[in-house]
Amino acid sequence: MLKEKAVASLGQQSLLMPAWVKAALLANDRLKLYLSMLQSAAQHANSPESPLVDWGRDLAQVGLHDSGWLQDLVKTAYFDERTLIIPQLRQLLDALSTDLSIMARPLCDSSREIDPDLVARRELWLQRLHALEDDEGLARESLADLTQGNRKHGDSFHILVMDLHKQLNAMASEIATENLEGAHVWQIEDADRPLIRAFMRGLQRTAPLKFSHPGLDTAVTRDGARLLIQNDIGTNDVHVLVIEVAQRRISLTYSDLHGARFDFFRDMLEVVGFEWTVFDPMTSDGLNAGKPYQVGKATFQAQEDARLMDALEAAASRIVFVIDWNRARKRLQNFVRKPQAVAILHHAAKQEWGHMAWLLAGGERLVFNAMQAVDSEAFRVGDRLDEVLGEAAATEFLLELMRISSVMLRQQQPVALLADEARMLLARVLRQRTFEFDLLAEHAAYCHALALALCDALETGTAVDDAQSASRVLRAKTWERRADHLLMDARQRAERQSRWAPVVDLLEKSDDVADALEEAFFIHSMTLVEPLSGLPAPVNEVLRRLADTTLAAIQDQVRAIEIARHVSERSDPAESELFLQTLWRMLRAERLCDELSRQARVTIVLSLQGSPAGLLLASDLAATIEKASDSLLAAGYALRKMVLNKTGMAA
């Protein structure tokens, strides 16, 4: 009696509960597998032609090595009207009842304070499972009562299992027999300690990046040959991470509501060297708004203990970056496209800055306030950051803001100071912005592609079949349309921001170049088909020289735009001189094109007197190429005006 009181005074659960909790967690694994296989049986019964999943490995992992009846359950189930007929139903119900009792035992049958509602729910489900034993199958309502996870539809067996699992995880941390480097551990071996320390070393290296957010509690135990590590990522029912270590092999099972976040975590572990097997998405009505959630297993086979511990440390260091990841991605999408938002989070994780500091400092409000404060002319209501700065500059700004947020909040600097830093950073980016020149350079690139294609066609000068000719014309038309879309983009920006007006003026003149070159390409294509099948060599030669000179002038335009991008009031005089020399070559090219155009007219008249169609087309081609050079000269002057205004030298 005295010994029993002594044991009670020490706390019974400290002696008995670890084994109970360990058995309960294993029962949880089996129950979730039973329910998954039951859902699979229903799906296969609905679509018998669909391929069967091999559950053998999953059964072995939870210790069900001799359970052929479970494999048969999926294969042999069928629907009789609204009833799912299961020949193995009694065995399934016995297994569900047994493991429910084992799982609920630490919470319902111990000396600790128990939840009477939880006990009542367990008893109710044990009774309901027993009542189903006399049936041959499960009505659709009974099937839903077992597997559905929507609390709005009432309690279910699945919901009870999830609730028990959540409380078991909390209990595991309370009853752990030892705290090893911050991990709650029990029933481990001495050889496990270096592995646990390696995992916790990685976890603790990056854990400060979650700041005050809950999560990252770790529980560890041993199950036979396997060391089991479970990490509490968050409060979500299906956001789960379980690691098994055996024979220098790491098997990590991860489930996530959000497919994008699942891919993000998978990518991070692939960099470490893990290989993934991704299973078909699972569905529960009460989870992820009834949409599927993703489940996968990552494995890593080490050849030596040091490599095994390195992999554990690296994997653990990545966990913090999935906390509130989806919220950060959505906030970033206020400023950049989704692929860029994901890329920003990848980079922030790689550099071990994280995203939680940025969220805690205000997230999108931090950026919106900076946009409002630094330049009311640059940013208007509804503007996206990447539309004003360009995608590259906006990404660079957000990444630097992530870094500053992480550093300052870890130094416990006030958020108000971080807000000032954000405004100063954005002001610097605005002073250096070159998005307008990105757009100008892209337009010039299309003009260059059109001119080069025309020169190549004139260089060849041979007849082509109709299909080949149509393909070339379509390609040129596509380039011209893309260039035109850039002009339309600039016009839309100019409607909101007056600073875009000079860009529109320049692009309108440059777009005349693209239009003329595309028209010239079309005219030339007509000379290559019947009845002409090509122009005389002298005509082709002079037209080629005219096109080559125009191409050289466009190449100078491309150079001039790149120089203008960096010219400012404080620029090196040599840089300004180089810009003016490049513009001067464009001016000389236009004059040379005038002379070549006159030579072309003479050559065309002399060579094509007997071909009215050839005379007309060749004359139109020469005039259209010359028109491109004239428009190019006007674009050069518009660029010169922009640069002079930028440097403060305009009259």
Distance in angstroms (rounded) separating the CA atoms of residues 348 and 355: 7
The encoded tokens of residue 261 equal: 């976040």
Distance in angstroms (rounded) separating the CA atoms of residues 451 and 625: 9
How large a percentage of the chain has pLDDT more than 90? 31
Q: Are 221 and 187 in contact (CB under 8 A)?
A: yes
Residue 26 in this model has a pLDDT that exceeds 70: yes
Q: What are the φ/ψ torsions at residue 422 (nearest 5 degrees)?
A: -65, -40
Of 498, 499, 381, the residue nearest 437 (C-alpha): 499
Average pLDDT on 269-295 reads 74
Average pLDDT on 411-427 reads 90
pLDDT for the residue numbered 401: 95
Highest mean pLDDT among 4-13, 488-497, 622-631: 622-631
Average pLDDT on 69-96 reads 87
Angle at 40 between CA 38 and CA 46, to 5 degrees: 110
Q: In this structure, are strands 249-256 and 294-301 parallel, antiparallel, or unpaired?
A: antiparallel
pLDDT digits (tens, 9 = 90+) for 293-307: 777 889 999 999 999
pLDDT for the residue numbered 289: 54
pLDDT for the residue numbered 608: 85
- Mean pLDDT is lowest, of 32-46, 427-441, 606-620, for 427-441
Average pLDDT on 565-573 reads 63
> Is residue 9 very low, low, confident or very high in pLDDT (cuts 50, 70, 90)?
very low
pLDDT for the residue numbered 286: 47
pLDDT for the residue numbered 568: 57
Distance in angstroms (rounded) separating the CA atoms of residues 642 and 252: 58
Of 286, 282, 287, the residue nearest 152 (C-alpha): 286
Residue 193 in this model has a pLDDT that exceeds 90: yes
Rg (alpha carbons) of the chain, rounded to whole number: 36
Residue 629 in this model has a pLDDT that exceeds 70: yes
> Is residue 6 very low, low, confident or very high in pLDDT (cuts 50, 70, 90)?
very low
Distance in angstroms (rounded) separating the CA atoms of residues 179 and 204: 14
Handedness of CA 143, 145, 147, 149 (dihedral sign): positive
Residue 12 in this model has a pLDDT that exceeds 50: no
pLDDT for the residue numbered 8: 27
What's the CA dihedral at 589, 591, 593, 594 to 10 degrees? Answer: 170
Count of C-beta atoms within a 10 Å radius of residue 424: 13
Distance in angstroms (rounded) separating the CA atoms of residues 69 and 305: 39
What are the C-alpha distances in Å from 393 to residues 334, 434, 557?
15, 9, 24
pLDDT digits (tens, 9 = 90+) for 503-519: 899 999 999 999 999 99
* Site of tokens 């296989």: 37
pLDDT digits (tens, 9 = 90+) for 382-412: 678 887 787 888 999 999 999 999 999 999 9
Which own/partner pairs from 373-376 qualify as long-range (CB within 8 Å, at least 24 positions apart)?
A: 373/423, 374/423, 374/426, 374/427, 374/430, 375/427, 375/430
**Side-chain half-sphere CA neighbours of 579 within 13 A:** 23
pLDDT digits (tens, 9 = 90+) for 527-567: 887 777 788 889 889 899 999 999 998 998 888 888 887 77
Average pLDDT on 148-166 reads 85
pLDDT digits (tens, 9 = 90+) for 333-365: 999 999 999 999 999 999 999 999 999 999 999
Average pLDDT on 98-126 reads 85
- Mean pLDDT is lowest, of 41-45, 201-205, 386-390, for 386-390
Q: Classify residue 299 by burial, with Cβ atoms within 10 Å: 0-12, 13-18, 19+.
A: middle
Helices 338-350 and 325-332, interaxial angle, to 10°?
130
Share the mean pLDDT of the chain. 84
- Mean pLDDT is lowest, of 98-102, 491-495, 540-544, for 491-495
H helix and E strand count, the chain:
24, 11
- Give all domains of the chain, ordered by start, each with its CATH number: 15-158 (no CATH), 176-321 (no CATH), 326-431 (no CATH), 435-647 (1.20.58.220)
Distance in angstroms (rounded) separating the CA atoms of residues 301 and 92: 35
pLDDT for the residue numbered 376: 54
Amino acid type, 228 = L
pLDDT digits (tens, 9 = 90+) for 228-243: 888 777 555 556 678 8
